[in-house]
Amino acid sequence: MLTNKKRLLATALVILTTANYSIANDTVQANTVKVSAAEGSLKLVMQGLLKDTQALTAAMLNEDFTLIAAKAKTIADHPKPSMATRMKIMESMGSDMAKFKANDNIVHSAAVEIMTNAEQKNIKGVGENFKKMIDGCLSCHNTFKSRVSEVLK
């Protein structure tokens, strides 16, 4: 029988695998994600977040609390796309912009909590907040991905 910690980590891995499948059809290349998001690409930001989320998952499974905290911080402080890209998104969202931003806030807050949990070496808290973070990602993608993709074509 799996312990609660192992069950939580297994759940996190399943969630990440599902998220990975639904949000990333492109191969993420390490050198690509180092390019500044200021160049305007939301896709570049998302690829960087995917890479960091995958590294966070590996750190969780290895209970590497230092790396968990570092990757959670990178996710919480992720770069923003260019102002021009953000303006296009804001214009297309209209009154839905608050919902769009709320999802980003969920991801940010959960990543900050993961950092705190990692500092406390609380793997259960890390897993619970990881789930919140992924839920925020999936909610945003399910609600807005096709709309945003269309606007940014």
Task: Give pLDDT, residue 32.
Answer: 40
Count of structural domains within the chain: 1
Report d(CA 143, CA 121) in Å as an integer: 34
The confidence score (pLDDT) of residue 153 equals 83
- Eight-state DSSP code of residue 27: P
Integer angstrom CA distances of residue 62 from 25, 37, 90, 123, 137: 26, 30, 39, 10, 23
- 28 within a domain of the structure (yes/no): no
Alpha-carbon span 24 to 16, nearest angstrom: 11
Domain presence at residue 22 = no
Tell whether pTM > 0.95. Answer: no
Residue 30 within a domain: no
**Interval 31-41: pLDDT, tens:** 344 444 446 68
Do residues 19 and 138 lie in contact, with contact meaning Cβ atoms separated by under 8 Å? Answer: yes
Domain of residue 122, residue span: 4-16+37-151
In this structure, what CATH number is given to the domain that contains residue 136? 1.20.120.10
User: H-helix or E-strand containing 97?
Assistant: helix 97-119
